Amino acid sequence: MSIAIQRFPQEAIQQLSLAEFIFPKQSANALPCIVTFENDNWQVASQLSLVKLPSHASSIAMQNPSTIELIVFSDIKLSLLATLVKKCQLSILSLNAINQRNKLISYRFNVSCQQLISARESLAEFALIHKIEAALIEKAPKLATAGVLVMDMDSTTIEIECIDEIATLAGVGEQVAAVTEQAMLGELDFAQSLHQRVATLKDSPESILAEVAKNIPLMNGLEELIAELKQHHWRIAIASGGFTYFADHLKDLLTLDAAHANVLEIVDGKLTGKVLGDVVDAQAKADCLISLQQQYQLDADQTVAMGDGANDLVMMNAASLGVAFHAKPLVLKQADCAINFSGLDCLIHWLK
């Protein structure tokens, strides 16, 4: 089927933002439709509401869509978007949707590429350099369909590393923080590093846990994300290599469906320097995701995992969509997509 299109030279519109070129508010039957970028020319189906610029009308055949989408926000300049497309070696095939969610507007383009992994690596590097949020996602989970989201706790759902805060109050802050950083970078076995850090807390008063919990700072966008997902009957959980004292506190505070973390041994009001039971390591986090998906009989394609450290990678790989949040380079390289500068609620736009 051939469709009438309008052609716009890139040089004539490169200073416009995406929202100034393709207006966010479109008629109900306008999308999806053809939008392509080839040879420094934008080609746009005539049914779209566009900025009024001179154009050359012709026709183009509708192409079979791929399953990959490029998601960018409305304020990106067309000059930067064009550079992104070339850098990642993408071919734009159509505009699938324009989503207005949580006071932001995102555009979802159907794209094709030769190598998705290398294209994602290029996009991750590009987004960091240019300080933008963008994602390249294959078969994204759907916001309006019930799913499960499992998040790491420390430096993901909350702004701090609880064990580092405890250690500071116990007077061993620098020592513990150094080990935490090595574990997050994947340079130390997580379980081994956890026991090593907890051992330094021996004989510290239980009251320091309450002090940390009392002032625990929620990550920007967390409450907005949870509220939006709950409207669509998603299940939400924390799986953490941290401690139940804080994970359970967040579960109650945010009305989450589950929280899995490590149990600190406390005797006579003091920490013993030991962890009770099996350590919640990378595999345990992945098992939590799978268990919740099966418990609530949710589609495996509707699973999302989000974290920032090396011990989140197994969980992220087990999910249909693995999201790196303000993450270490190792995690950023292996994730399906990332959120680098925004709050957690940016995830709402990565979902279809």
- Measured CA to CA, the distance from residue 266 to residue 275 in angstroms comes to 9
Task: Report if residue 234 sits inside a domain.
Answer: yes
Q: Is 301 a catalytic residue?
A: no
Indicate if 52 and 85 belong to the same structural domain.
Answer: yes
- Domain with residue 24: its CATH number is 3.30.70.260
Indicate if 247 and 342 belong to the same structural domain.
Answer: yes
Through-space distance between the first and last CA atoms of the chain, rounded to whole angstroms: 26
pTM: 0.93
**128 lies in which domain range?**
2-138
- What residues pair up with 3 in beta bridges, in sequence order? 60
HSE-up of 98 (CA within 13 Å, CB side)?
20
Indicate if 188 and 307 belong to the same structural domain.
Answer: yes
| Predicted confidence band of residue 52 (pLDDT cuts 50, 70, 90) | low
- Measured CA to CA, the distance from residue 220 to residue 342 in angstroms comes to 8
- Domain with residue 158: its CATH number is 3.40.50.1000
- What pLDDT, on a 0 to 100 scale, did the predictor assign at position 28? 81
Indicate if 171 and 302 belong to the same structural domain.
Answer: yes
- What residues pair up with 71 in beta bridges, in sequence order? 108, 135
Indicate if 15 and 84 belong to the same structural domain.
Answer: yes
Indicate if 46 and 194 belong to the same structural domain.
Answer: no
- What pLDDT, on a 0 to 100 scale, did the predictor assign at position 184? 77
Nearest to 155 by CA among 242, 28, 71, 90: 242
Indicate if 197 and 300 belong to the same structural domain.
Answer: yes
Indicate if 230 and 120 belong to the same structural domain.
Answer: no
Residue 112 pLDDT more than 70? yes
**Number of independent structural domains in the chain:** 2
**Least confident interval from 25-34, 152-161, 260-269, 271-280:** 25-34
Residue tagged active-site, from 40, 75, 154, 301: 154
Indicate if 181 and 225 belong to the same structural domain.
Answer: yes
Q: What is the DSSP string of 194-262?
A: HHHHHHTTTT-BTHHHHHHHHTPPBPTTHHHHHHHHHHTT-EEEEEEEEEHHHHHHHHHHHT-SEEEEE
Structure tokens at 196: 């090593």
Q: Is 154 a catalytic residue?
A: yes
Q: What is the rounded average pLDDT for all residues in the chain?
A: 93
Indicate if 319 and 178 belong to the same structural domain.
Answer: yes
Residue tagged active-site, from 40, 75, 152, 308: 152
Examine the fold and report which residue of 138, 160, 175 is the final residue of a domain before the chain moves on: 138
Task: Report if residue 244 sits inside a domain.
Answer: yes
User: Mind listing the pLDDT tens digit for each residue in 146-193?
Assistant: 999 999 999 999 999 999 999 999 999 888 888 888 877 888 788 888
* Three-state SS at 69: strand
Nearest to 226 by CA among 258, 265, 255: 255
Task: Report if residue 45 sits inside a domain.
Answer: yes
Indicate if 131 and 155 belong to the same structural domain.
Answer: no
Task: Report if residue 143 sits inside a domain.
Answer: no
Task: Report if residue 57 sits inside a domain.
Answer: yes
Indicate if 238 and 189 belong to the same structural domain.
Answer: yes
CA dist 314 to 6, 33, 70, 160, 164, Å? 46, 37, 25, 22, 24
